[in-house]
């Protein structure tokens, strides 16, 4: 959107690469569908038949929107092996994700997408599970809930949103869950309160829960782990720390698990929630706070300037 809209700034002054960007032919990764759940959350469906075939619940991808972009890890929210597509749910919070919100439309393509990364979630022998998703974690918990259901488990899903307007995929969850508990912060739908309240309710009604799986912001996963600890229920969480390559090469994603250092990208992203040092994780997520703020301000400012001169840029500029 910024200086990237000019040809010279995009290519680091070099010719377009001769290598192929993906396992199949063609350049980029075409976006075939998009749905906006709210003013910040949206779903992208990306054409990638090889990945759609390989993806398992709990795995993630790393995407780059354009050749000046950063590598953004996103958990796979769904995949369709027949259509050959992979679904991602993105929350526009920082510069890169807001830029995605603006640029990623059907008919455009992502500059880069690699995956599926990380170890797939272990869909074990559990007979009764609670799948907890909070905020953005609602999307990635879905394939796990479905996988548990397909394995024959009794699945209770607890999903949390700020208010009723932000709810998405209620129908998809109802289809694959035996029970669905919706929690909203303001009580505008389901029960009023955080997902932990939903977990407490589920545990009360079902004393024989074998496993809890929680995906969401670290603070929520921490609360979930604390909620199940007194009951001694196995709790699996999916961590999404800052990372660069996602292949175990940079070590940026190291997390403390039971006092040992692990790489979330190759050892995880699923870990035993009772062993995770969440405070350490939350501190590490603040690592680039200043830079994130700066990038966002600079980007917002550029957008404002470009709004005044709407002809200087096109919708899909900044990507080659």
Partner 1 sequence: MPVEAPQARVANFNEVALGFDVENALVECERCLVCPEPACVAGCPVGIDIPGFICKIIDKDYRGAYDIISEANLLPAICGRVCPQEDQCEGVCPVGDTLEPVAVGRLERWVGDRAIEEGWHKRPYIEPNGFRVGIIGSGPAGVACAADLAKAGCAVTVYEALHEPGGVLRYGIPDFRLPNQVVDEEIGNLIDLGIDIRCNTLVGRLFTIEQMLDEMGFDAVFIGTGAGSPKFMDIPGETLNGVLSANELLTRCNLMVAGRFPEYDTPLHLGRRVAVIGSGNTAMDALRVTRRLGAEKVHCVYRRTEAESPARLEELHHAQEEGIEFHWLTAPVEILDDGDGNVRAMRCLRMELGEPDESGRRRPVPIEGSEFEFETDMVVYAIGTNANPILGQTSKLKLNKWGYIETDEDLATSMAGVYAGGDIVTGAATVILAMGAGRRAARSIKEYLGIRDSDIVYQPERSGHEGALFGIDGAERNFVRVRSA
Q: Return the number of other C-beta atoms located less than 10 Å from residue 310's C-beta.
A: 8
Is 256 a binding residue for partner 1 by CB under 8 A? The answer is yes
- Choose the binding region for partner 1 from 67-75, 133-141, 212-220, 226-234 (rule: CB under 8 A): 67-75
Q: What is the DSSP letter of 36?
A: E
User: End-to-end CA distance of the chain, in Å?
Assistant: 12
Instruction: Report if residue 51 touches partner 1, rule: CB under 8 A.
Output: yes
| List 105, 122, 174, 286, residue binding partner 1 (CB under 8 A) | 286
- The whole-angstrom separation of Cα 155 and Cα 305 is 50
Question: How far is residue 155's CA from residue 147's CA, in Å, rounded to a whole number?
Answer: 10
Based on the shown chain and the rule CB under 8 A, indicate whether residue 49 belongs to the binding site for partner 1: no
Q: Which of 32, 40, 49, 70 binds partner 1 (CB under 8 A)?
A: 70
When computed from its CA atoms, the radius of gyration of the chain, rounded to whole angstroms, is 20
- Only one residue has tokens 């969401």, namely 216
Q: Among residues 1, 46, 58, 59, which is the contact residue for partner 1, using CB under 8 A?
A: 59
- 157 and 201 Cβ atoms separated by less than 8 Å: no
Helix (H, G, I), strand (E, B) or coil at 97: helix
Which one of the spans 65-73, 154-162, 204-212, 214-222 is the region binding partner 1 (CB under 8 A)? Answer: 65-73
CA dist 244 and 44 (Å) reads 22
User: Phi/psi of residue 12, each to 5°?
Assistant: 50, 35
Could you tell me the smallest distance in angstroms from the CB atom of residue 42 to partner 1?
19
In angstroms, give the least distance from the CB of 257 to partner 1: 11
For residue 52, give the 3-state DSSP assignment: helix
Strand partners, 159: 133, 182
Site string for partner 1, 84-103 (x = CB under 8 A): -----------xx-------
| Alpha-carbon distances, residue 124 vs 3, 118, 144, 149, 272 (angstroms) | 50, 17, 11, 11, 14
Cβ 183 vs Cβ 190: under 8 Å: yes
107 binds partner 1 (CB under 8 A): no
CA dihedral 80, 57, 49, 44 (to 10 degrees): 70
| Closest CB to partner 1 among residues 250, 306 | 250
Give the H or E element holding residue 292: helix 289-308
Q: In whole angstroms, how close is the CB of 85 to partner 1 at the nearest point? A: 15
Q: Is 108 in the site for partner 1 (CB under 8 A)?
A: no
Rounded distance between C-alpha atoms, residue 42 and residue 122, angstroms: 27
Site string for partner 1, 218-247 (x = CB under 8 A): --------------------------xx-x
Residue 251 engages partner 1 in binding (rule: CB under 8 A): yes
Contact range with partner 1 by CB under 8 A, out of 10-18, 79-87, 101-109, 158-166 = 10-18
Among 38, 119, 201, 320, binds partner 1 (CB under 8 A): 119
Q: Does 117 bind partner 1 (CB under 8 A)?
A: yes
**Which of 28, 135 has the CB closer to partner 1?**
28
Among 283, 300, 312, 315, binds partner 1 (CB under 8 A): 283
Residues near partner 1 (CB under 8 A): 2-3, 9, 12, 14, 17-23, 50-51, 54, 59, 64, 68-71, 95-96, 111-119, 244-245, 247-252, 254-256, 261, 263, 266-267, 280, 283-284, 286-288, 290-292, 294-295, 298
């Amino acid at each position: 959107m910024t200086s990237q809209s000019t040809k010279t700034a995009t290519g680091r002054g070099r010719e377009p690469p001769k290598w192929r960007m993906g396992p199949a032919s063609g350049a980029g990764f075409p976006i075939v569908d998009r749905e906006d759940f709210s003013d910040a959350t949206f779903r992208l469906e990306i054409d990638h038949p090889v990945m759609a075939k390989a993806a398992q619940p709990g795995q993630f991808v790393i995407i780059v929107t354009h050749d000046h972009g950063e590598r953004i890890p996103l958990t796979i929210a769904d995949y369709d092996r027949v259509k050959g597509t992979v679904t991602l749910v993105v929350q526009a919070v920082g510069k890169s994700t807001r830029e995605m919100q603006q640029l990623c439309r059907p008919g455009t393509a992502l500059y880069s997408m690699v995956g599926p990364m990380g170890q797939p979630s272990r869909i074990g022998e559990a007979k009764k599970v609670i799948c907890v998703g909070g905020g953005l974690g609602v999307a990635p918990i879905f394939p796990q809930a479905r996988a548990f259901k397909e394995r024959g488990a009794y699945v209770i899903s607890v999903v949390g949103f700020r208010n009723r307007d932000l709810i998405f995929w209620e129908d998809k969850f109802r289809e694959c869950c035996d029970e669905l508990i919706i929690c909203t912060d303001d009580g505008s739908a389901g029960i009023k309160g955080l997902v932990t309240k939903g977990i407490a309710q589920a545990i009360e009604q079902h004393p024989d829960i074998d496993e809890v799986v929680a995906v969401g912001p670290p603070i929520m996963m921490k609360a979930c782990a604390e909620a199940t600890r007194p009951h001694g229920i196995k709790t699996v969480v999916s961590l999404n720390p800052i990372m660069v390559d996602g292949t175990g090469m940079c070590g940026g994603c190291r997390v403390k698990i039971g006092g040992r250092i692990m790489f979330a990208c190759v050892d995880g992203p699923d870990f035993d929630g009772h062993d995770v040092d969440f405070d350490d994780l939350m501190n590490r997520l603040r690592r680039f706070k200043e830079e994130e703020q700066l990038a966002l301000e600079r980007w917002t400012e550029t957008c404002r300037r470009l709004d005044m001169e709407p002809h200087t840029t096109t919708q899909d500029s900044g990507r080659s």
